[in-house]
Structure 1
Amino acid sequence: MKSMLMNNKTFSKNEEDKLELLTVMISSGIYCATKRWNSKDTLKDTCLLVKEILPFMISGLKSTIEM
């Protein structure tokens, strides 16, 4: 993810643009995970959903902070 955000040919050097991209990526991950869980027609424990998504959110935030 960090290499993708650091690619100035693809993405702006503007920090706000990078933060917006990161927000979209995290939101998309949450949406996809939620849709996948709902498609199984079973109610899952919210804690398990958070455990599935949280590592990606932390990784993305860490990459952004390190820039």
Structure 2
Amino acid sequence: MTRPPALDRVEWHRCTNGDCVEVAVLDGKVWVRDSQDASGAVLPFTFDEWSAFLTGVRDGRFDLERLAPGA
């Protein structure tokens, strides 16, 4: 997918420590980028996909301790 030029003008939201991802909403999609590489790749997600991801995070489905081999 081509990066929309308008992404350079949207408000990006980031976590408080800055070592994470940034999120913006544009054209009915949630866009995600690396907070350390603002000019790098940007991934688009539908609202349903983003909601499912957030639900998984809240439910602990991505906890590294649980996912690590031998855990």
TM-score calculated relative to the size of structure 2: 0.25
The structure with the largest helix share of the pair is: 1
The structure with the largest strand share of the pair is: 2
Point out which structure has higher relative CO (alpha carbons under 8 A, 6+ apart): 1
